[in-house]
Amino acid sequence: MIDERVEVVIEEYNPEWARAFVAIRDFLNSSSVLTLMRIEHVGSTSVVGLPAKPIIDIDIMVKEAEMSDAFNAICSLGYRHLGDLGIIGREAFRLEGREEFMRHNLYLCTEDSLAAKNHLNWRDALRASAELCTEYATLKRSLAERFPHDMDGYCACKTEFITNGLSRFLSASEIALIREQNL
């Protein structure tokens, strides 16, 4: 997890989240290296109508050969490297001291990593299915009530629902690895 001490608060969808992503993406693109990378808004704030924690999740997708250059560019913008946080193929970063940007989690992912597939496929599945969104919103609200100060517990309990939803996109071994890394 990025910060397990964060209070788990679920807010109704806010169109400002899309604008906040654009502002952060534009800041990232101030690095000439990062303008060449694919920058994706992922997570619940990227799905119109879906309640979410008001924290933007962003993936910068790179080829393995571009990882070092992208890593250095991200750090040059003031991001602090947090490590992979137990997720293979993904490096996490936090920007501190820049109050003009909404709180966000920035991840550097190789394009073919399971972390990237997980984020993109889940986002796209939610965007494609109002029923799935409704079920997920209900689960998120109930887990936020159950785990108001336990981000790890909140995330762990979402894992089964998410991996079941991802099972049509990923192999059984990939699903098992996601479960293992998230629990």
pLDDT of 37-87, one tens digit each? Answer: 999 999 999 999 999 999 999 999 999 999 999 999 999 999 999 999 999
pLDDT at 145 over 50: yes
pLDDT digits (tens, 9 = 90+) for 86-118: 998 899 999 988 999 999 999 999 999 999 999
pTM of the model: 0.90
**DSSP track, 2-26:** --TTS----B---THHHHHHHHHHH
Q: Which residues are CB-contacts of 151 (< 8 A; sequence separation ≥ 6)? A: 1, 3, 4, 5, 6, 8
Provide the pLDDT for residue 95.
Answer: 96
The whole-angstrom separation of Cα 72 and Cα 9 is 33
Q: What percent of the chain has pLDDT over 70?
A: 96
pLDDT at 2 over 90: no
The whole-angstrom separation of Cα 28 and Cα 34 is 6
Higher pLDDT, 180 or 71: 71
The whole-angstrom separation of Cα 150 and Cα 154 is 6
Provide the pLDDT for residue 3.
Answer: 47
Check if the beta carbon of residue 119 is closer than 8 Å to that of residue 59.
yes
Cα torsion 12, 13, 14, 17: sign? positive
